[in-house]
Amino acid sequence: MSYKVAIVGATGEVGRAFLKVLEERNFPISELYLFASERSEGKTLTFKGESLKVQQLPSNPPAVDIALFSAGNSVSKEFAPLFVREGAIVIDNSSAFRLSPDVPLVVPEVNPDDVKEHMGIIANPNCSTIQMVVALWPIYKKVGIKAIVVSTYQSVSGAGSEAIEELKRQTGELLQNREITKSVFPRRIAMNVFPQVDSFDENLYTREELKMLFETRKIFHDPNIRVSATCVRVPVFYGHSEAINIHLGDNLSPNDAKELLSKAPSVIVADALDYPTPIDVAGKDEVFVGRIRRDMVFDPGLSMWVVADNIRKGAATNAVQIAELLHSLALV
């Protein structure tokens, strides 16, 4: 069985990663459509050695089996229902539908059965949420987790290709002692960090921080788990890092946690002090965990360091895994 697949937002960072991951994982495709905004119309992208033209996203989309969306909230809200109307299952990477009660929010290693409840749209979680829940789910199943305190260190690629260019440009301006110009981020990103990813809510948490709370609750099916996040932008091109402290429901030693995680799908546990960094994980699909140790505040508790490629497992790979799940369950 092979499928007609559409990629919406094909020329963006995640859109290009969709192509790469679909090819690497040899997802069965009979026909592939590439859609983007008007300014990208006519560009060509390569898939399995073949050059494909990018088309402007139409108001009357073709009938496809699966549509992978990564073009922002407004595009998803307008066009995803149109693709569903034509018979597609939409896997959406924006936050447009993530907290809708009738839209499954899926990480295949954590809650695969939720895809069975879809009504045409399945949401891909936030990149920071994905890597955190992949690392914590085995522990949650074993002893339970009451609370999570997480600080993220998020690469600029999470804000798109323009953000990558801003870091490149500002780094050059800084090294050449020129005036620093900015247009994407609220503060200078070159040689700097700042604790703001997305806009601020009235409670002074950012939307990114609140996503980590509400998405984790939905994915774990646990409305009582507490999550406090501080999300920080750092001058790294690819790869998000997270320092995570968890309050356990029951005791679990660091060694037992390492053994548990080493057997978990899509998790790689670092040996001893050989902790992972963004450079180590760029281009990879796994979630890397290191520095597992007893927490000095929560009792019982653990602290750990979690790193993943935000464009791969944090977006494109997770979406393709959802498509693979639909295929394996004969839901498409």
- Each residue's pLDDT tens digit, 68-108: 999 999 999 999 999 999 999 999 999 999 999 999 999 99
Let me know: does 228 contact 248? Beta carbons within 8 Å.
Answer: no
Q: What is the pLDDT of residue 78?
A: 97
Would you call 247 a catalytic residue per the annotation? no
- Please list the residue range(s) of the chain that carry CATH number 3.40.50.720: 3-125+315-328
Query: How many other C-beta atoms lie within 10 A of the C-beta of residue 157?
Result: 25
Considering 118, 231, 240, 247, which one is annotated as catalytic? 240
Q: What is the mean pLDDT of residues 34-59?
A: 94
The pLDDT mean for the chain works out to: 97
Is the pLDDT at 272 greater than 80? The verdict is no
Q: Do the strands 226-233 and 50-53 form a parallel or antiparallel pair, or are they unpaired?
A: unpaired
Is the pLDDT at 223 greater than 90? The verdict is yes
Q: What is the pLDDT of residue 53?
A: 97
pLDDT one-digit tens code per residue, 227-266 = 999 999 999 999 999 999 999 999 999 999 999 999 999 9
Q: Name the residue with higher pLDDT: 42 or 206.
A: 206
Q: Return the CA Rg of the chain.
A: 20
Q: What is the mean pLDDT of residues 268-284?
A: 94
Would you call 240 a catalytic residue per the annotation? yes
pLDDT one-digit tens code per residue, 152-195 = 999 999 999 999 999 999 999 999 999 999 999 999 999 999 99
Q: What is the pLDDT of residue 170?
A: 98
The three state secondary structure string of the chain is CCEEEEEECCCCHHHHHHHHHHHHCCCCEEEEEEEECHHHCCCEEEECCEEEECEECCCCCCCCCEEEECCCHHHHHHHHHHHHHCCCEEEECCCCCCCCCCCCECCCCCCHHHHHHCCCEEECCCHHHHHHHHHHHHHHHHHCEEEEEEEEEECHHHHCHHHHHHHHHHHHHHHCCCCCCCCCCCCCCCCCCECCCCCECCCCCEHHHHHHHHHHHHHHCCCCCEEEEEEEECCCCCCEEEEEEEEECCCCCHHHHHHHHHCCCCEEECCCCCCCCHHHHCCCCCEEEEEEEECCCCCCEEEEEEEECCCHHHHHHHHHHHHHHHHHCCCC
Q: Which CATH superfamily is domain 3-125+315-328 in?
A: NAD(P)-binding Rossmann-like Domain (3.40.50.720)
For the domain spanning 129-309, the CATH number is 3.30.360.10
Let me know: does 97 contact 80? Beta carbons within 8 Å.
Answer: yes
Q: What is the pLDDT of residue 273?
A: 85
Considering 118, 127, 231, 247, which one is annotated as catalytic? 127
**How many residues in the chain?**
332
- % the chain with pLDDT above 90: 97
Q: What is the mean pLDDT of residues 207-217?
A: 98
Could you tell me which residues come within 8 angstroms of residue 208 by beta carbon, excluding any fewer than 6 positions away?
126, 128, 152, 154, 197, 198, 229, 231
